Homo-oligomer: A and B are copies of this chain.
Amino acid sequence: MIKLRDTDAGVGATNKRNILQAAEKCFAQFGFKGTAVQKIADEAKLPKTNVLYYFKTKQELYVAVLEETLSLWNSHFDRATVDDDPAEVLAAYITEKMEVSRTHPQASKIFAMEIINGAQNLTGYFDEEHAKWMEGRLALIDQWIEVGKLPQLDGEYLLYTIWASTQHYADFSAQITRLRGRKMIKADFETATRQLIQLVLGGCNLPVPSRYIENIDVE
């Protein structure tokens, strides 16, 4: 009998998770070429050879990290339909994406660098799934326009604006931190989120759902 160990427990799985986490940190900070396997090993407190035991090559480890970050693209927007309210859906989408930027900035940075460098490692799966997803979402936006829930606009550029504006807070955090003199904390993200929602929905002639309006200065 051959025993395939596919459990998440055990020494192997623990080490793998450990290595992936260390790798994510390093790749986000120094990029693929800038990260030495030795560095990842140090970060994971393992000898380098041990890292190469779990991931045969640095590239394989990088792709594994990259693939983990792709799961962050999932959101409720994926399953919205024409019956939903675009104001609610878009506001929620922006909120979710801002939350990813706040809680997973490293993953966002790795993804950004991968794209900037030509997305050589994002072939196959991501390409197809992502394009398919895009197609579906653009169709939904067109439906919203048809039924009068949205003004005439190009969904493509709307989505790019949302991606860019939300991911910016993760990817460009170094610039933001220097400009403000301090790191953005959770409260700052909430303000930024509120304002971004106001801007995007306003730009789409949509009313901002009350839940996304600051309820502090109401006197």
Contacts and interface: CB of A to CB of B under 8 A. Distances in A.
Interface of A: 29-34, 109, 112-113, 115-119, 127, 130-131, 134, 153-154, 156-158, 160-161, 163-165, 167-169, 171-172, 174-176, 178-180, 191-192, 195-196, 198-205
Contact of A119 (B30, B127, B174): B174
A191 B117 contact: no
Copies in the complex: 2
A93 B61 CA distance: 42
Given A115-B174, A119-B175, A134-B179, 11 more contacts: A31-B117, A112-B172, A116-B172, A130-B179, A153-B198, A156-B179, A157-B195, A160-B176, A161-B196, A164-B168, A164-B172
Contact of A161 (B33, B127, B199, B201): B199
Contacts of A176: 160
Given A131-B178, A179-B130, A203-B200, A115 B171 contact: yes
Given A32-B34, A112-B171, A127-B178, A161 B157 contact: no
Nearest to A118: B174
B165 A115 contact: no
11 contacts: A33-B33, A109-B116, A112-B171, A115-B175, A130-B179, A134-B179, A153-B195, A156-B179, A161-B165, A161-B199, A164-B165
A127 B158 CA distance: 31
